[in-house]
Structure 1
Amino acid sequence: MLQQIAPNLWHVQHTFSTLGIGISARMTVVRFADGRLWLHSPVPMSAPLREQLAALGEVAFIVAPNKVHHLFAGDAAKAFPNAVLYGARGLANKRPGLRNLQTLTDTVPPAWAADLDLVFAEGFPFANETVFYHKASRTVIMTDLCQWWTGDLNLPAKLYAGVTGVRARLGVPRTIRAGVRDPAAFAGSARKILAWPFDRVIVAHDAIVDSGAHAQVARAFACFTEKY
């Protein structure tokens, strides 16, 4: 269930298996200054989770931040029919059944601007991920661009994380690097992210880095920023 990370910032993890690989994914919840809730990368909406969210405030925004993390966006929209659903560029074509989907752009929606900033990750069309910055908690919220598979993983997950370079520390997985089509543009986006004065980074798979986060993200992105 929901666990608090910082004031007005929570997360919940969802575990599943793909091809025998045990995977943990995360939904992050931000409560805006006006009390409305913003859900990033929804997980399955169980009845207890819906109750916990309702106790925190009104779910006003649901975000599918890239073209991979969208499986439960429709379920979340049904659970909270008054919320506005936002999705990655190209997601509307991939998921035409997502009704009233608003496409994320380079500009922060006005209703979010007091609480969040964003950077669209250029040069990675497979995912078209948008990265967010929660100003009040000085937290970067990512999905797949950086990963760190921690904890007690099953053997296939350990092997996968080791091969992709994200078992021992935060990094850009080799699978992501291989999908970058414009490294210079991606490096430019990484520099914009690093310009934020953040102390914490939350990634979907599966770490929350509370100490030395800026330096660790800089090191992760160095495979691009030091070359392009």
Structure 2
Amino acid sequence: MLRRLDQSLWVAEDTLKVGFLRFPVRSPVVRLEDGGLLLFSPLPSVEREADEIRALGEVRAIVAPNLLHHLGLSPAARLFPGARLFGARGLREKRPDVTFTGVLDGAPDPLWSAEFDQAAAFGMPKLEETVFFHRPSRTLFVWDLCFHIAQSEHLPTRLFMRLNGAYGRFGPSRIARSMMRDRAAVRASVDRMLAWAPERIVVAHGDVVERGGRDALQGAFERVL
């Protein structure tokens, strides 16, 4: 079932199995002022929530925000054939089976620019992540730039995330830090996020930061940058 976080914000949640690991994974759904929906990072299991999503409105766009969050694109495109597909830079080459409408960069598409800001963390070429800020709800959406797995009942996942430096706290993992090839570019992206002063941060993996998002973000990257 979809979980409602704000007046126009819902999330679909599942468990992602990667080898012997079990990660929580999340896909946000945002209803724009005109009633249309943005579906971010659709889950491979998107069909389970398809009827709930349709009940909220028409999906206008499906967004794959980085080079890793693309596994649910094909089923989402099939379920919502009228939606435009937007992908991270380089994803068109990685997924030639998917027809993309546009490529994400630092400028929001006119479809959502009235309500969203976005920033591209182009200092991480293996990730090419774009983060989004929903102004009406003061919510920042990040994907693999930051994790927030506060706890896990799955022992291998706990051990891995401890070794990865991202268990029990909000912030970038060691793997994410290793992808930062241009730290000045990442710093510029983080500064832009801080300027938005988010209250809530919705991560793809882990717990939602419901309050004090700007302080959490600043503290996470002071240790890194």
Q: Normalising by structure 2, report the TM-score.
A: 0.96
Post-superposition CA distance 1:169-204 (Å, at most 9, x none): 101101000111111111111111111021000000
* Conserved 8 A contact 1:42-1:62: yes
Contact 2:87 2:104 in 1 (8 A): yes
5 Å matches for 1:20-169? Answer: 20-169=20-169
Structure 2 Cα separation of the partners of residues 138 and 152 of structure 1: 28
CA shift for structure 1 position 31: 0.3
Residue 202 of structure 2 aligns with an amino acid whose one-letter code is I
Q: Distance in 1 between matches of 2:45 and 2:163?
A: 32
> 3-state DSSP class of the match of 1:208?
coil
1:212 match: 212
Distance 1:93 1:47, change over 3 A: closer
Instruction: Determine the structure 2 residue equivalent to 1:203.
Output: 203
- Residue 46 of structure 1: how far off its partner (Å): 4.9
Structure 1 residues 68, 118: CA separation in 2 closer, same or farther (over 3 Å shift)?
A: same
Match of 1:195, SS state, is helix
Using the TM superposition, give the Cα deviation of residue 44 of structure 1 relative to its aligned residue in structure 2, in angstroms.
Answer: 2.8
Report the identity percentage: 38
SS at match of 1:214: helix
Task: State the Cα RMSD in Å.
Answer: 1.2
Matches of 1:99 and 1:69, distance apart in 2 = 16
Report the alpha carbon displacement of residue 152 of structure 1 after superposing the two structures with TM.
Answer: 3.2
Divergent runs of 4+, >3 A: 45-48
Alpha-carbon distance, 1:45 to partner: 4.5
Whole-angstrom CA distance in 1 between matches of 2:68 and 2:199: 26
Q: Tell me: CA distance 1:185–1:95, structure 2 relative to 1, closer, same or farther (3 Å).
A: same
Whole-Å separation in 2 of the counterparts to 1:162 and 1:203: 18
| Deviation for aligned residue 1:47 | 4.5
Gaps of 5+ in 2: none
How far does residue 155 in structure 1 lie from its aligned partner after superposition?
0.7
CA contact (8 A) 2:15 2:22 kept: yes
